[in-house]
Chains A and B, each alone.
Chain A
């Protein structure tokens, strides 16, 4: 059974870098059948896609986040990570790791349980 588990600090100071890791079990992040990525949801708002990657190492980012996003992959641990730099209070959200079926252009078919991150001094 597929499980995606986010982990990382729940509190980050303004201007610092937010770092989260997603550990996947029940599927290989190296599989050509899926893409994997990050989505966030600010309090009381809808989800916002952050970025994703595919098995070939191609990465895709939400242009609204400009150059603040970095996604890295550790296939040996079946994990992938998110770094979001220069955070502000507007980055406070629940962060989800997720899977796309097939390509990043298709549906998000599984979501992790989510981890809340607050940006505050």
Chain B
């Protein structure tokens, strides 16, 4: 079965840029989606099909995907961005990464 690998945690200073990676075999050939889950809440779609933002998602959130790594970039990080972030792909079934906890210092 297809596996997605995310770092368990990423820490970033307030106002700086955070990068969260999602690794998978030839993931660049797949559509990657990103979800944000704040504590005690349901996940929310953040980025779809590698780099697209649903309406209402700030431009500070962006995505890229190439080779074996997809990346979620959060610019000008705010305290409210503290959350768990999950990548999602399709590989004969829906697959989620294990999640990355973003801590804002």
Contacts from A to B (Cβ < 8 Å):
37, 39, 45-49, 52, 60-64, 96, 101, 104-114
Contact with A along B72-103 (1 / 0, CB 8 A): 00000000000010101010011111110000
CB-CB under 8 A from B1, the residues of chain A are 63-64
One of A45, A107, A113, A114 near B45 (C-beta < 8 A): A107
Q: Count of A-B contacts with CB under 8 A?
A: 61
* In the assembled complex, B64 has its CB within 8 A of some CB on chain A: no
A70 to chain B, nearest CB (A): 17
Q: Interface size for chain B: under 10, 10 to 19, 20 to 34, or 35 or more residues?
A: 20 to 34
- Give the CA-CA distance A111 to B88 in the complex, in Å: 14
Most-contacted residue by chain A among B1, B93, B97 (CB, 10 A): B93
Which single member of A101, A104, A109 contacts B90 (CB below 8 Å)? Answer: A104
**Binary CB contact string for chain B from 30 to 67 against chain A (1 if under 8 A, 0 otherwise):** 01010100000011110011000010000000000000
- A109 pairs with B45, CB closer than 8 A: yes
Majority secondary structure of chain B interface residues (helix, strand, loop or mixed): strand
State whether A46 and B45 are in contact (beta carbons under 8 Å apart), knowing that A64-B1, A107-B33, A108-B88 are contacts in the complex.
Answer: no
Q: What 10 new A-B contacts, CB under 8 Å, besides A46-B97, A62-B94, A107-B88? A: A39-B94, A46-B84, A46-B96, A47-B96, A49-B95, A60-B93, A105-B31, A106-B48, A106-B90, A108-B43
- Which B residues are in CB contact (< 8 Å) with A110? 45
Contact B93 A48 (CB under 8 A): no
Q: Given A45-B98, A107-B33, A108-B94, are A113 and B42 neighbors across the interface (CB < 8 Å)?
A: yes
Inside 8 A of B44's CB, which chain A residues have their CB?
111
